[in-house]
């Protein structure tokens, strides 16, 4: 239950940071915090009390194990987040180069 609370807390803190950020790098970091909430949520879903790692070579039949699919999804999530963060930081560098600012409110060319 605590893991679900932590996941929601990370989501709220990350979203608050995104909404109140006045710097694009800070906004990207807040998005990574938001994404981290999915790690905690996935690990919490796959956790089984008393479960062991799903290496069946040395486990007796019927021994509870944690869900390996959720662990794989979490690792995939980490890789996707690293890629998205790298792309967003590269875009931030391009914005700073072209417009001379990283304040989202001062980016007049992006206003609709």
Convert the pLDDT of each residue in 43-63 to its tens digit: 899 888 888 777 777 777 878
Convert the pLDDT of each residue in 67-82 to its tens digit: 888 889 999 999 999 9
Is 60 exceeded by the pLDDT of residue 111? no
Q: Give the pair of three-digit tokens for residue 32.
A: 């990574």
> Of all residues in the chain, what percent carry a pLDDT higher than 90?
58
Indicate the burial class of 102 (C-beta count within 10 angstroms; 0-12, 13-18, 19 or more).
middle
Domains of the chain (ranges plus CATH)?
1-52+63-110 (1.10.287.3510)
């Amino acid at each position: 239950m605590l893991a679900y609370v932590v996941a929601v807390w990370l989501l709220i803190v990350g979203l608050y940071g995104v909404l109140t950020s006045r710097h694009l790098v800070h906004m990207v970091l807040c998005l990574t915090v938001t994404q981290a909430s999915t790690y905690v949520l996935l690990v919490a879903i796959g956790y089984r009390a008393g479960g062991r790692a799903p290496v069946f070579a040395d486990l007796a039949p019927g021994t509870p194990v944690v869900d390996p699919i959720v662990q794989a999804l979490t690792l995939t999530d980490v890789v996707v987040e690293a890629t998205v963060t790298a792309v967003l930081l590269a875009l931030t560098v391009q914005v700073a180069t072209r417009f001379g600012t990283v304040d989202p409110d001062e980016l007049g060319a992006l206003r609709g």
